[in-house]
Structure 1
């Protein structure tokens, strides 16, 4: 399965490294296709979300996106519009004995 990987900025790079490590440990075949987006991309190329990244996402069955800094709206909103996405899932887990609001 082809998966687009967009590490993005800041903590996203570290989170993506960990996520890929977990996926690599599974008994499944993935083809990871790295793409660029975010503040560092904007500084290097003049655009926060290059057309090449949109092409990689379009060719993939799934996309893993780490994080974006100041250019987050330019990246996330455009990805949502281009690919008719509507959810930004962030799984959470409550732990017994830990207060939650």
Structure 2
């Protein structure tokens, strides 16, 4: 049997606020990487081996870069959900205290 769990709504809300900064950082990394890769162009060569590598590599690389571009928004969403959960938990605790007359 477990002993239950504890939640610090204040700590959850504070730590949830860090996701916005992480999202900004990821967005900056994505933009920098995309700009640098674009400036480099196709880097695998014009010979048969390079073209063969490029044919296999380009689509997955583009998909990965696109996915990285969406990560900042997802991190921001997670932070917002944690913030909402912290607020809901604090509100629930206050309701319980009121109902128990504490």
Bucket of the pairwise TM-score, normalised by the shorter protein = under 0.3
| Greater strand fraction, Structure 1 or Structure 2 | 1
| Greater helix fraction, Structure 1 or Structure 2 | 2
**TM-score, normalization by structure 1:** 0.27
